[in-house]
Chain A
């Protein structure tokens, strides 16, 4: 095989490093880009550069943001008093889409996992305690971590550290997904749904 364009080859190589993109898809994307006009390529390139240079982390909640503090922490209309604790910033995005929660967030930046060398000190747990003990007047901390072993361990740990602050600690309900029928639900989920049942 003879390569006629080193530049094309280089683009393919970079693109194939993207998650979920193999060499074939990378080739398709590169050839697609090649066919577009200059303006498009420039916009894409700038978007990538801005993504790296201009996006920062909010120093209050740890969410990704263009400004510090982020728009959620800075918004006076958000209810003070409630903090929703999540694992990563994409969880904020998911919860925001529901329009259900009007409080503020706290992004831990991971969960406790000794196997991955992540202990409580590697997470933004101390920052959370500072917020709860500070002048934000927090009266409820909502734990919205994944219901797996690591998420459970982290929830347990955070809850324990919050006890001295005498703040209400809640967790999002576990149970039956919408649109599912009871007979298709496994016992573990169903028994969990029973223990965390709520009044009608």
Chain B
């Protein structure tokens, strides 16, 4: 899957702009704050219906304006050509259109154009709390499984209803149990499916991760990954359901006391290891960086094998951190990946040694003050 043309109106620091993209490698350079990341963030909007940088639609609107508009032309193997556009205005919120037809739910967009983003923020993945890793995993699986995304949305809703019941209920406990029962059933069914899917994907993902870590680090450390949930995980939801019901029963009193749902995939954790050491506790800065990088490369390679259409790969300002040797390895990996790639970089990177910018398959852009020019190299 790739984007051939992008139009932006009032998006971040682009007042009005359009770009034709190359099918393979697109390198965007320019000084800090020129609008490089904004360009790929716009593409991210058209793939995932949100920014990968900012948490609010309002903050990505051009200063002083009340709306933004984005449009992209995509082509791929399964759907030959289609157009995705996104509008946001302060009054009406966000809407996504595919070939001019509005989508009922923003979530319907996810998975249409799979995308993998490497950014300086990735270090949070291994350094910070479990929520970061769950959200990585959720966005990972949602792009390859519509059913998973649907279960996630349902699960969140069911948990919210259940929590409200636990918080607001005043009365005898046996009645509460009866009121909880309809929610328990759905919590267990969707929750078990989520755990089973996470387990299944992570089991396959392990191999990709260790391969990519070895490639990028050039070292013989073995990566490990342990998926932790409240029960013995399995790829079979039915096997989880039984344990789930038991656990709900066992924690009932604690749930009443704490007034919230305590059992389920919303409390899962993934532990990363290098050899036998837990990365989060013992990893060096450099190891964290390389681990995060290999997580994203592994995601790219996993998608490439799993999906009929290659994902779009974005690297936002990641070369500044890497030594020359690692840069070489990463660029070589990008050369081998035949999908479309976007690279933003403030510092000059020795791309010429690895890539020929013919202005056709690979293009080189420079962005200065929101002005985009394609350059010959």
Binding site for B on A (CB under 8 A): 112-115, 117, 119-120, 148-150, 152-154, 156-157, 160, 186-188, 191
Residues of chain A with a CB closer than 8 A to B151's CB? 188
- Complex alpha-carbon distance, A160 and B185, angstroms: 12
- Complex alpha-carbon distance, A113 and B158, angstroms: 10
List the B residue with the shortest CB-CB distance to A154. Answer: B182
* B146 close to A (CB within 8 Å): yes
Q: List 20 A-B contacts (CB under 8 A).
A: A113-B161, A114-B165, A115-B164, A120-B179, A148-B154, A149-B154, A149-B157, A152-B182, A152-B185, A153-B182, A154-B182, A156-B181, A157-B182, A160-B181, A160-B182, A186-B147, A187-B147, A187-B150, A188-B146, A191-B147
- Complex alpha-carbon distance, A148 and B183, angstroms: 12
* B251 close to A (CB within 8 Å): no
A188 lies within 8 A of B186 (CB):
no
Per-residue A-contact encoding for B41-80, CB less than 8 Å = 1, 0 else: 0000000000000000000000000000000000000000
Residues of chain B with a CB closer than 8 A to A120's CB? 179
- Complex alpha-carbon distance, A182 and B83, angstroms: 23
Binding site for A on B (CB under 8 A): 145-147, 150-151, 154, 157-158, 160-162, 164-165, 168, 179, 181-183, 185-186
Complex partner residue of A153 from B150, B160, B161, CB under 8 angstroms: B161
- Complex alpha-carbon distance, A160 and B178, angstroms: 10
A115 lies within 8 A of B182 (CB):
no
Residues of chain B with a CB closer than 8 A to A150's CB? 161
Residues of chain B with a CB closer than 8 A to A156's CB? 181-182, 185
- Complex alpha-carbon distance, A157 and B150, angstroms: 23
Residues of chain B with a CB closer than 8 A to A186's CB? 146-147, 150
List the B residue with the shortest CB-CB distance to A152. Answer: B186
CB distance from B110 to the nearest CB of A (A): 11
CB distance from A7 to the nearest CB of B (A): 29
Interface of A, secondary structure class, is helix
List the A residue with the shortest CB-CB distance to B146. Answer: A186
List the B residue with the shortest CB-CB distance to A191. Answer: B147
Residues of chain B with a CB closer than 8 A to A148's CB? 154, 157
B186 lies within 8 A of A187 (CB):
no
Residues of chain B with a CB closer than 8 A to A153's CB? 161, 182-183, 186
Complex partner residue of B145 from A119, A157, A187, CB under 8 angstroms: A187
CB distance from A153 to the nearest CB of B (A): 4
B150 lies within 8 A of A188 (CB):
yes
A115 lies within 8 A of B147 (CB):
no
Q: Which of B150, B154, B157, B183 has the most CB of A within 10 A?
A: B183
- Complex alpha-carbon distance, A120 and B171, angstroms: 14
- Complex alpha-carbon distance, A150 and B182, angstroms: 9
Residues of chain A with a CB closer than 8 A to B150's CB? 186-188
A114-B168 in contact given A119-B179, A149-B186 (Cβ < 8 Å): yes
Q: Which of A149, A150, A188 has the most CB of B within 10 A?
A: A149
Residues of chain A with a CB closer than 8 A to B160's CB? 115
Residues of chain A with a CB closer than 8 A to B183's CB? 153
Residues of chain A with a CB closer than 8 A to B165's CB? 114
CB distance from B326 to the nearest CB of A (A): 39
Residues of chain A with a CB closer than 8 A to B181's CB? 156-157, 160
Residues of chain A with a CB closer than 8 A to B179's CB? 119-120
Supply 4 further A-B pairs (C-beta < 8 A) apart from A114-B162, A154-B182, A187-B147: A149-B158, A153-B182, A156-B182, A186-B146
- Complex alpha-carbon distance, A194 and B231, angstroms: 28
CB distance from B141 to the nearest CB of A (A): 12
